[in-house]
Amino acid sequence: MLRVLLTGFEPFNHAKLNPSEQLVLRIGKDDVPGAQIITKVLPVVYSEASKELLALVEEHKPDAVISFGQAEGRSPISVERFAVNLDDASIADNSGVTRVDQKIHSDSPTAYESTLPIKEFVTAIKAEGVAASISMSAGAFLCNHVFYELQNTFSGTNVVSGFVHVPLMNEQAEDFPGLPTMHLDQMVLAAKTMVAVLVARTSD
């Protein structure tokens, strides 16, 4: 049984919803045959998000970790390729902290690559009729922060990990006029499809 940890984020920057939160709340532990799924919603706080994530890793010892976050303005599911060693955002986290030009770890590499099978993910998600693409940048806010912490933690291990951005959900259209949205059901389907890809790879 493959143990997979899926995380999302709470709403931030005065928003009422976060699709990554709603996504992980919709997924049950037995929703994908061959996988035991653990889900958690992380705080949008620099000092707490990675601490909670790494505590989950220590507790559950997953074989794979996929973290999800919101990317307003993007229309497809965006499977991220690189995490960079930088916190540099114009908005504050939910505790009011803004970080500019600050390294996440002073003695770690400039960037890490996702160890998830990102091209297989995109192909499989598209096959389910959901828009998906590979993205080269997870930004430099909490999404990238958590992504970098994951890759740094699992560097040199057999645990596969990475980050996926999801679009705004349909229910956010009024708060983000003119920006693309996606039905939450499609995001959930994409997440389950990615877990199924990981299960299939362990069976080969």
pLDDT of residue 85: 98
- Answer yes or no: is pLDDT of 204 > 70: no
Residue tagged active-site, from 14, 48, 143, 171: 143
Name the catalytic one among 165, 171, 174, 183: 165
- Is pLDDT above 80 for 203? no
Least confident of 7-11, 12-16, 19-23: 12-16
| Strands 111-113 vs 82-84: parallel, antiparallel or unpaired | antiparallel
pTM: predicted TM-score of the whole model, two decimal places? 0.97
Q: Which two tokens stand for residue 98?
A: 């803004």
Instruction: Report how far residue 2's alpha carbon sits from residue 191's, in angstroms, rounded to the nearest whole number.
Output: 15
183 belongs to the catalytic site: no
CA angle 24, 29, 30 (to 5 degrees): 125
DSSP single-letter state for residue 106: T
What are the extents of the domains in the chain?
Answer: 2-203
CATH fold of 2-203: Aminopeptidase (3.40.630)
Total residue count of the chain as it appears in this document:
204
Mean pLDDT value of segment 121-142: 97
**Percent residues over pLDDT 90 in the chain:** 98
Mark whether 14 is an active-site residue: no
Catalytic residue among 80, 128, 149, 171: 80
Query: Does residue 12 carry a pLDDT above 90?
Result: yes
Task: Compute the distance between CA of residue 158 and CA of residue 161 in angstroms, rounded to an integer.
Answer: 10
Active site annotation includes 165: yes
